[in-house]
Structure 1
Amino acid sequence: MYTPPDDETVAAHTREWLEKAVIGLNLCPFAKAPHVKNLVRIAVSQAKHLDGFLEDLDRELQLLGQTPADELETTLLVHPALFHDFLVFNDMLDLADSAVVENGLEGVIQIAPFHPQFQFADTEADDISNYTNRSPYPTLHLIREDSISKAAQAFPDAAAIFERNIELLNKMGHSGWAELDLPACPFHQANGTASDKTD
């Protein structure tokens, strides 16, 4: 039976992925500043079922919505056990988006998904392009719309960022990604996901 890591371990693994991949590879040019300023909250949910997770999401949305950006810029809500299957996680995203609306935060906060098995539409499971959104554990990134607007002013051509990321990952290949030595969810590691593959 799979026993998920404790909150401290999950948060540490998520922070390492943020520092090594997201910031280290500059996959998101906007991520470094709030991290350096300690304005990124990593919240770990150990809810036993979907309803409990959505309650945790409600709390994190409300906290972010009620806290000034200079105290809390963004939140990563991580669950180490509930969404092993990416398709189940993907189906949950509609409920997550509905939670934004139900909490009166439409146009204020949006959600970006990350998962150990993340797969964009019309790609193969092991396509390196999927790795831009592969995290150690299933994760919802709660982002302020204002932050996105400010980032768009600094980087008006968002498509160029995506293209640059794909070019970088294609150059690295699976072996280069593996050399980052990122932490992996024990469940997916034991079950040999595509993230374990090398060139």
Structure 2
Amino acid sequence: MLLALPLLLAAGSRHRSTIVRHAVAGANDAATDTWHRDAVAATAAWALWIAAVNLCPFARKSLETSDAISYVVTEADNQKAFYAAAVACARDLAAASDVDPTAAIVFLVAPFYEPDDFPAFLRSVEALEDDVMPEASDDAIQIAGFHPAWAFGGVPDDDPLHFEKRAPHPTVSLVLVDGLEHANSAKIAADNERTLSQLGVDAVARAFAGFVSSD
């Protein structure tokens, strides 16, 4: 069952009038829907912070473009179900005709899929990117993984850079490749590292703790 619900971002946000599309996979009662809404609220708060500190040059445009962002919460707790949810999101995004392709983004939030095992989640995302997604969407979709315990190899534990890829829940973002035509990934990475270093690990960690506690 797929239940589509509008979500109004928190009052006080500079984007408080933004409406995002919220899709709940498997929601069939009020309690479940409330929990899913909380997961979306935490992810939406995180996305607003990403835009506010400019960690992603596309985030602000996506937030300010009508109907550009969709949040899909899946209850998948195994690889097969997680991949099926990602493929469904990719196909829906590739087929969408009513959203600006340079701003469209889907966040697939999977709270039950490897929430405590980052290496396993990372292996799944890599396989999804390399083997599953190209076949499912004819290379039209690019994905990126995020995890609450994301850690870059060879980077000190207290380096704020890890927060570039941390989200309140295991999450995959899906965007249209056409929308990334002019992206300079090396510059984005360098800018993100500089931004996070300037903010400092304490400030970034406090912000992240707020997203997690809001769930």
**For the superposition of Structure 1 and Structure 2, which TM-score range results when normalised by the shorter chain?**
0.7 to 0.9
TM-aligned CA distance change 1:40 to 1:102, over 3 Å:
same
**Which residue number in structure 2 is paired with residue 163 of structure 1?**
190
Matched, 1:51 2:83: no
Among 87, 90, 95, the residue aligned to 1:61: 90
Name which of 178, 181, 199 aligns with 1:172. Answer: 199
Query: What residue identity is the alignment partner of 1:115?
Result: H
Q: 5+ unaligned residues in a row in structure 2: which ranges?
A: 1-31
Q: Is the 8 A contact 2:94 2:137 kept in 1?
A: no
Task: Please state which structure has a larger fraction of its residues in strand.
Answer: 2
Residue-pair matches, total: 177
1:29 — aligned with what? Answer: 57
Instruction: State the structure with bigger RCO (CA 8 A, min sep 6), 1 or 2.
Output: 1
How large is the Cα RMSD of the aligned pairs?
Answer: 2.3
Alignment counterpart, residue 102 of structure 1, candidates 121, 132, 135:
135
Which consecutive aligned stretches of 4+ in structure 1 deviate over 3 angstroms post-superposition? none
Counterpart AA for 1:105: D
Task: Look up the SS of the partner of 2:158 in the other structure.
Answer: coil
> In the TM superposition, what is the alpha-carbon distance from 1:34 to its structure 2 partner?
1.6
User: What is the Cα deviation at residue 40 of structure 1?
Assistant: 0.8
Q: Is the 8 A contact 1:49 1:82 kept in 2?
A: yes
1:102 maps to amino acid: E
Cα deviations by residue, 1:91-112 (Å, 9 ceiling, x for unpaired) = 1013312221221421x11111
Measured after TM superposition, the shift of residue 124 of structure 1 is 3.0
What amino acid sits opposite 2:159 in the alignment? D
* Partner residue, 1:83: 114
With normalisation by structure 1, the TM-score equals: 0.80
Q: 1:13 to 1:170 in 2, by over 3 A?
A: same
Q: Tell me which residue corresponds to 1:93.
A: 125
Task: Point out where structure 1 has 5 or more consecutive residues left out of the alignment.
Answer: 188-199
1: distance between equivalents of 2:138 and 2:167? 25
How much has 1:182 moved relative to structure 2? 2.9
Task: Name the counterpart of 1:132.
Answer: 164
Q: Which residue of 2 aligns with 1:74?
A: 105
Give CA deviations for 1:140-187 in whole Å, capped at 9, x if unaligned: 11111111114x2xxxx4423322221221222221113435311799
